[in-house]
Structure 1
Amino acid sequence: MEKIRFAIIGCGAIAARHAIHIKNYGELVAVCDLQEEKALAFAHPFQVPYYLTMEELISSESTIDVVVICTPNGLHASQSVQALRQGHHVLVEKPMALTVGDCETMLQAAAAAGKQLFTVMQNRFNPPVQAIKKLLDAGSFGQIYSVQVTCFWNRDQHYYQSSSWRGSKAMDGGILFTQFSHFIDLLYWFFGEVDTVMSVMDNMAHQSCSELEDVGGVVLRFKSGIIGTIHFSVNSFQTNREGSIAISGEKGMVKIGGEYLNTIDYAEFQDAVLPVLPAGADVNDYGTYRGSMSNHDQVYQNLVATLQKGTPFYADTMDGLKTVAIIEKIYQAANSR
């Protein structure tokens, strides 16, 4: 069976993670970045050509199967649509886009082209997350009363100043998109759609380098009646401290904790037993800051199986849209105050 051939658009920090797994599960044929120095440095170790525009890459490389979008958030929609209309499958990094309208345009473009649109939601593969999802689906919690998300991460001034798009309303969108969309995805995956939202947020420590919030608080009511809260911040002193989801139910209570949903802090159930969990992947470490658990290998395993064997992808693209819809509601609620 022929290898799936990939091209990467955007040669930033997350693109390096993609390139490693493409090498393991397919073939990297070309990369693209507006900055020639960055594109050349990225392409050299993989011995592939680089391009400075997406148009030039697509017109020059006729063998591409999948275009991987690793550019700033505000470009995800337009570049995904461009690649789809040119007859390529697309894997787009989180967030899928910055508006529900853009997500809908992407889905329409995929349907019209008869191509697959894949999204990255790799925290679904964290062993604690998978274990709790199985217990939720089995009804082990009984009635769910409430859920609490706590995200205390650190993104300092150097982080924002190291890339011009970070902290930009048009290209970044906000820390719920860039840092914490994986947590919102898990809320949707666990509990479904959100009905009502109240939220407050502010920029407390990054006024000189960001147009956006750096801390916020949210109260949610899901359509199922569950009450949820989110406390999120990138002002954690010196380093990431916590990325957690605590669930309270009629027959059980659990907290998936650690820095990036990588541990079980506590778990107790009336009728269920939490299984022994396998070791998880390492964190995405970018040198001066850290991100979520690095499960991109499983994203690529799924993608290749989908394209070669017709195996269903681990996440429906509509899930990406639903995550964006929840984030939009949170920002709209904060802006209406």
Structure 2
Amino acid sequence: MNNLKFAIVGCGRIAQRHAKHIKNTQGSELVAVCDIVAAKADQLGAEYGAKAFYTIEALLENEDIDIVSICSPNGLHANHSILSLKAGKHVLCEKPMAISVYDCGEMIKTAEKANKRLFVIKQNRYNPPVNAVKNAIDSGKLGKINSVQLSCFWNRNEDYYKNSWKGTKDLDGGTLYTQFSHFVDLLYYLVGDVKDAKAFGGNYCHEGITEFEDTGVVILKFHNNAIGTINYTVNSYGGNMEGSLTLFGDKGTVKIGGQYLNELEYQKIENFSIDNLPMGNTANNYGQYQGSMSNHDMVYENVVDVLLNDGQITTNMFEGLKTVEIIDKIYNEIEKNG
């Protein structure tokens, strides 16, 4: 196999980024795109010399595809992934893996049955400070992590949700799924799995605009006995303010901050210092707003390495499931307390 032949399902904003990185990653080529809005598929296809399809069923009949990148709305990730896996294709699924724990389980079962890979995008793991802190934790430099504080203070205005699937329960799922699932993933990645959650949420500035909360506060108890909080909102006035994660270990304290977990803002560690961090990529820019740091290039390099060179997968489907499980616990609490 010379090059991996990619297809993209869903030709919205994030698909542009995927197409660019497929083109720029050695060992990969974009051969097909799909969207139920024909003009979107035609435009992306023409830009990258890929064949345009208007249904996923028609796309999957094309045997020339090795792997499908799922860039459709959150609520369609499970269905589109399962159809692709059943058709004998590998899958790279955008975050979140799905918006229900059950759907994640079905995706995993289908991948196992088809003996195909299911990759889940968690690009914030590649942020230089995140990578450095992970290495410090794994090598015992911070000692035991006792507590953690996650702050997600972004802005998503009415225009963001206008004429879009975003803001709906069925296709979006909630603020933690669309805006902050990467941040929740980092809690799992750096601290561990969550045993229990208590939470409150409210829709303060998006009544009639979104079908779910725009703000939440969460208390977490991890299986390793660490405790933590999440304070999140999309009501930061006028623009994104902060995305930060502070970890308190018995041998050190670190804060990864900036707007997108892209800066090491504070460190005090026993007989150790994190130095000479490389510059990270810039944030994803979507015109009127910005999102998490753009590390999709590293995601695609890993996919190619795994499928062509038997490399090690950086984010597998079970970790994708864990993020959804944690968010599901939080949302059950918000519903209960609403």
What TM-score bracket applies, with the shorter chain setting the length? over 0.9
If the length of structure 1 is used for normalisation, what is the TM-score?
Answer: 0.98
Counterpart AA for 2:67: V
Mapped pair 1:40 → 2:42: yes
Name which of structure 1's ranges 311-320 and 11-20 shifts more when overlaid on structure 2: 311-320
Asked if residue 108 in structure 1 is aligned to residue 97 in structure 2, the reply is no
In the other structure, the counterpart of 2:184 is 184
Residue in structure 2 matched with residue 161 of structure 1 by the alignment: 162
Q: Following TM superposition, by how much is the alpha carbon of 1:145 offset from its aligned partner in structure 2, in angstroms?
A: 2.0
State whether structure 2 residue 224 is matched by structure 1 residue 224. Answer: yes
State the one-letter code of the partner of 1:32: C
Between the two proteins, what is the percent identity of the paired residues? Answer: 49
Q: Distance in 1 between matches of 2:185 and 2:232?
A: 15
Q: Deviations over 1:237-268 (max 9, x none)?
A: 11101000001121111110000001011111
What SS class does the counterpart of residue 218 from structure 2 fall into? Answer: strand
Find the aligned partners of 1:22 and 1:274 in 2 and give their Cα distance.
32
The whole-number CA distance in structure 2 between the counterparts of 1:210 and 1:277 is 39
More deviation, 169-178/34-43: 34-43
Q: Secondary structure at the match of 2:91?
A: strand
User: Which residue of structure 1 aligns with residue 8 of structure 2?
Assistant: 8
Please tell me whether the aligned partners of residues 145 and 191 of structure 2 are also in contact (alpha carbons under 8 angstroms). no
Tell me if the contact between 1:169 and 1:212 (Cα under 8 Å) persists in the aligned partners.
Answer: yes
- Report the equivalent of 2:271: 271
Find the aligned partners of 2:78 and 2:204 in 1 and give their Cα distance.
Answer: 30
- Point out where structure 2 has 5 or more consecutive residues left out of the alignment: none
Alignment of 1:153-302 (within 5 A): 153-163=154-164, 165-302=165-302
Could you tell me how far 1:48 is from its partner in structure 2?
A: 1.7
Matched residue, 2:78: 77
Contact 2:167 2:174 in 1 (8 A): yes
Cα distance between partner residues in 2 of 1:275 and 1:83:
43
Report the secondary structure of 1:313's partner residue. Answer: coil
Alpha-carbon shift at residue 40 of structure 1 (Å):
1.5
Counterpart Cα distance in 1 of 2:95 and 2:140: 30
Q: Secondary structure at the match of 2:278?
A: coil
CA distance in 2, matches of 1:49, 1:281: 30
Moved over 4 A (4+): none
- Does the CA-based 8 Å contact 2:118-2:316 persist in structure 1? no
Equivalent AA in structure 1 for residue 17 of structure 2? R
How many residue pairs get aligned? The number is 335
Q: What per-residue deviation string (whole Å, max 9, x for no partner) do you get for residues 138-160 of structure 1? A: 11112222100000011100000
Task: Tell me the amino acid that sits aligned with residue 65 of structure 1.
Answer: D
After superposition, give the CA deviation of every residue in 1:273-299 in whole Å (9 maximum; x if it has no partner). Answer: 112100100110000110000000000
Q: Distance in 2 between matches of 1:273 and 1:243?
A: 22
TM-score by length of 2: 0.98
| Offset at residue 205 of structure 1 (A) | 0.6
3-state SS of 2:260 partner:
coil
Contact 1:74 1:97 in 2 (8 A): yes
Counterpart CA distance in 2 for 1:81 and 1:24 is 27
CA distance in 2, matches of 1:296, 1:116: 18
Task: Give SS of 1:198's match.
Answer: strand
Contact 1:131–1:275 under 8 Å retained in 2: no
